[in-house]
A and B are shown apart, each in its own frame.
Chain A
Amino acid sequence: MKHLLSIGDLTRDSALDLLDEADRFKAALLGREVRKLPTLRGRTVMTVFFENSTRTRASFEVAGKWMSADVINVSASTSSVRKGESLRDTAATLHAIGADALIVRHPSSGAPRQVARWTAEMAPDGVAPAVINAGDGTHEHPTQALLDALTLRDRLGGFEGRRVGIVGDIVHSRVARSNALLLTMLGAEVVLIAPPTLMPLGADGWGVTVAHDLDSELPGLDAVMMLRVQAERMRGGFFPSAREYAIRYGLNETRRRMLPEQAVILHPGPMLRGMEIGYSVADSPQAAPLQQVANGVHVRMAVLFRLLVGEQADA
């Protein structure tokens, strides 16, 4: 694995290996007062965020630092882009500076893949940085899917025969895309639940089930993943109102009780309480938002380790 741009870059085995690796990092750090491993000493990891996301950036930053990498945050959204520098120029500059890994978040779908291609073209010696997609447009967010999968494995013990509902603004959600790909690859059944206006065209060809009625699905779910609805979508006519959305698709207390008792509730955050998810639901024992955050660091450590150190060092 050279880059992590899409869940499609993973096989079932390499995905499971990343989850196991994340568990090993978690175990290695357990109970330590100083959470510092020498794994990536001397390596330079750059987070390049063309779009703000405090939690994702912080998670990658902590992951790098706990492995002793030099982590540098490049605020691409405020500096180079405003000066009219192209994405290709930015990629060239960061490559020339000598990054071992570029963690790219970008509002345009595919931008991290383009960065990977351009930096490879610029590297006459063939040594180009590993690129990690930290969320691109409405395409994918593979590390989020991995941390969700790790959380589900913690809670449910495995994936085979488990049924996971992904609810809400699926068409605009990179989290939904990556999760649908990963969870089906790992053997879970995935049901996408949204009004047709928020359902991607051809989703029925993704090896998932498509549904529009949340209530009838809830009793059969082992996990429900609530998605973020961006405020700007509410004016686009995707659904009549925030109120109607909350009534039809919000995970309120009544709906929580329709879920099996052991079912897990996930949310990539930040949560819109009261609309996407009820106030008390988010704090219920079934909800796992903080476990998701903690797992995020371990998963990102695993990804950085696999990309920068590779498989052979594992032996």
Chain B
Amino acid sequence: MTTVLITGTRPYGEGDPVDVLIEDGVITRIVPAGTLEATPDAAGDGPGAEVIEAAGTVLLPGFVDMHTHLREPGREDAETVRSGSAAAARGGYTAVFAMANTDPVADTAVVTDHVYAQGRTVGLVDVHPVGAVTKGLAGAELAEMGVMAASTASVRLFSDDGHCVADPLIMRRALEYARGLDVLIAQHAEEPRLTEGAVAHEGPTAARLGLAGWPRAAEESIVIRDALLARDAGARVHICHASTAGTVELIRWAKGQGIDITAEVTPHHLMLDDARLETYDGIFRVNPPLREASDAEALRAALAEGVVDCVATDHAPHAAQDKCCEFSQARPGMLGLETALGVVAQTMVGPGLLDWRGVAAVMSERPARITGLPDHGRPIGVGETANLTVVDPDSAWTVRGAELASIADNTPYEELTLPARVRATLLRGRVTCVDGKVRAH
């Protein structure tokens, strides 16, 4: 029997400190802090027992990332299931959804089952493979979604992310077909004709810097189209990485119409804006691009309000040579798993837009509910599976790409000091990370 005792923590940062006892993966006792110290058995003096001294910390349900790029198979020089799982554990995540734009593409059960099996072998985080919506992400023919849904990996989320399912008829069929399987389509909303050659947000900054612009309308036109298609299909649709103030308003409208639409926002779109492009550093190239400060502000408000449902990292590792080059040649994407909580704490908790219960909602409960994970994002209570994250809200840390668990080091927060470091992460009661040290299986 494995036993872990977390002492002196406060669930959701509320109430008096408690001790939380976890036995065989399940929370068995939550008692006022200090009560369990008198009982050696319960305090975990048995084999495999461990005490995490956690005074001053906040206890949250383990985070769930709907949008992670693990790069395996195909680009193991940037990330692997193993290194990405380590990054996830250090970031407080207990479940991640690994996007399908690998090489080969995860458009068959062979690939999704492989990724799933790798995740199980590593064992640091539940790795749920995302299946491609269309074969080869080409946007022309539906991938075998039903076979992937019925496979070992039991694929529940489908996305051509990296590409938009741009053909309206294919998207309509995908939504209808997904409804029949009770699975979710996540759309990378980008009208490709409007973004040909685009490398930066279309606005005054890009115009001045001479960078080809990616207009807001390229995202918004797909968001509203897909909302209408989901309405007609009676299906659910999820919008990946919402990046504009207009997208927020369209989602608000669609939800008001009763359309089953959800949306995520990335930490970098909450914090950063296109003023960062001044140096032409490829590290800041991302898709959708960093928008204007007013968009970031609208996204923060929308997340606080619940119009945007959750935070997803769009963790996108890239090898150094794919980032340290001409801006227009740099591959789009940024690391996100290890810094997500710090950025959310900085942009949302610090200014009072979210409390810790709100953080639990946007980083754990809602993504788990949207993706249908039964034992993640659950309330912290006796009898619940111990997928947990212990956060020290007062610990500041300075981000250094080279020190992150990812193989790649393309973080946009280099040398930035972030609040709220993860003290420990527990996956089904097993400590996967404590004080930045990852515990291999």
Residues of B within 8 A of A87 (CB): 325-326
Q: Bound complex: CA of A177 vs CA of B210, how far in Å?
A: 9
Q: Bound complex: CA of A111 vs CA of B212, how far in Å?
A: 14
Binds A, one of B88-96, B200-208, B392-400: B200-208
The reply to whether the CB of B257 lies closer than 8 angstroms to some CB of chain A is no
Binds B, one of A21-29, A132-140, A290-298: A132-140
Considering only CB atoms, which chain B residue lies closest to A177 in the complex? B210
Judge whether B209 and A110 touch: CB under 8 Å. Answer: yes
Q: Bound complex: CA of A106 vs CA of B280, how far in Å?
A: 14
Q: Bound complex: CA of A171 vs CA of B212, how far in Å?
A: 9
Considering only CB atoms, which chain B residue lies closest to A236 in the complex? B196
Residues of A within 8 A of B204 (CB): 201-202, 205
> Given A109-B280, A110-B280, A114-B280, A201–B326 Cβ distance below 8 Å?
no
A176-201 interface (Cβ within 8 A of B): 177, 200-201
Q: Mark B199-225, 1 if CB is under 8 A from A, else 0.
A: 000111011111111000000000000
B267-314 interface (Cβ within 8 A of A): 279-281
Q: Bound complex: CA of A110 vs CA of B206, how far in Å?
A: 11
Q: Which single member of A108, A111, A117, A200 contacts B207 (CB below 8 Å)?
A: A200
The reply to whether the CB of A105 lies closer than 8 angstroms to some CB of chain B is no
A88-115 interface (Cβ within 8 A of B): 88, 106, 108-111, 113-114
Residues of B within 8 A of A139 (CB): 209-211
Q: Which single member of B206, B279, B328 contacts A117 (CB below 8 Å)?
A: B279
Q: Bound complex: CA of A202 vs CA of B209, how far in Å?
A: 12
The reply to whether the CB of A86 lies closer than 8 angstroms to some CB of chain B is yes
The reply to whether the CB of A174 lies closer than 8 angstroms to some CB of chain B is yes
Residues of A within 8 A of B325 (CB): 86-88
Name the residue in B209, B279, B325, B329 with the highest tally of chain A Cβ atoms < 10 Å from its Cβ: B209
Q: Which single member of A110, A200, A202 contacts B327 (CB below 8 Å)?
A: A110
Q: Bound complex: CA of A87 vs CA of B281, how far in Å?
A: 13
Instruction: State how many angstroms separate the Cβ of B410 from the closest Cβ of chain A.
Output: 15
Residues of A within 8 A of B211 (CB): 109-110, 137-139
Q: Which single member of A114, A200, A205 contacts B326 (CB below 8 Å)?
A: A114
Q: Bound complex: CA of A146 vs CA of B281, how far in Å?
A: 27
Q: Bound complex: CA of A288 vs CA of B320, how far in Å?
A: 47
Judge whether B203 and A137 touch: CB under 8 Å. Answer: no
The reply to whether the CB of B324 lies closer than 8 angstroms to some CB of chain A is yes
> Given A86-B321, A114-B280, A202-B204, A109–B329 Cβ distance below 8 Å?
no
Instruction: State how many angstroms separate the Cβ of B431 from the closest Cβ of chain A.
Output: 40
Instruction: State how many angstroms separate the Cβ of A283 from the closest Cβ of chain B.
Output: 32
Interface size in chain A (residues, C-beta < 8 A): 25
Q: Which single member of B203, B206, B210, B213 contacts A174 (CB below 8 Å)?
A: B210
Instruction: State how many angstroms separate the Cβ of A87 from the closest Cβ of chain B.
Output: 6
> Given A108-B327, A201-B202, A177–B208 Cβ distance below 8 Å?
yes
Judge whether B210 and A106 touch: CB under 8 Å. Answer: no
Q: Bound complex: CA of A291 vs CA of B302, how far in Å?
A: 58
Judge whether B207 and A137 touch: CB under 8 Å. Answer: no
Judge whether B280 and A140 touch: CB under 8 Å. Answer: no
The reply to whether the CB of A15 lies closer than 8 angstroms to some CB of chain B is no
Judge whether B279 and A138 touch: CB under 8 Å. Answer: no
The reply to whether the CB of A203 lies closer than 8 angstroms to some CB of chain B is yes
B173-219 interface (Cβ within 8 A of A): 202-204, 206-213
A202-229 interface (Cβ within 8 A of B): 202-203, 205-206
Judge whether B328 and A137 touch: CB under 8 Å. Answer: yes
Name the residue in A109, A139, A200, A205 with the highest tally of chain B Cβ atoms < 10 Å from its Cβ: A109
Residues of A within 8 A of B329 (CB): 108
Q: Bound complex: CA of A17 vs CA of B329, how far in Å?
A: 37
Q: Bound complex: CA of A277 vs CA of B88, how far in Å?
A: 61
Judge whether B321 and A138 touch: CB under 8 Å. Answer: no
Judge whether A202 and B210 touch: CB under 8 Å. Answer: no
The 6 A-B residue pairs whose C-beta atoms are closest, nearest first, are: A110-B280, A139-B210, A202-B204, A108-B326, A109-B210, A138-B210
Interchain Cβ contacts under 8 Å between A and B, 16 examples: A86-B321, A86-B325, A88-B325, A108-B328, A109-B280, A109-B328, A110-B209, A111-B280, A111-B327, A113-B279, A200-B208, A201-B206, A201-B207, A202-B203, A202-B204, A202-B208
- Given A88-B325, A139-B211, A205-B204, 15 more A-B residue pairs with CB atoms under 8 Å apart are A86-B321, A87-B325, A87-B326, A108-B326, A108-B327, A109-B280, A109-B328, A110-B326, A111-B280, A136-B210, A137-B211, A137-B328, A138-B211, A202-B207, A203-B207
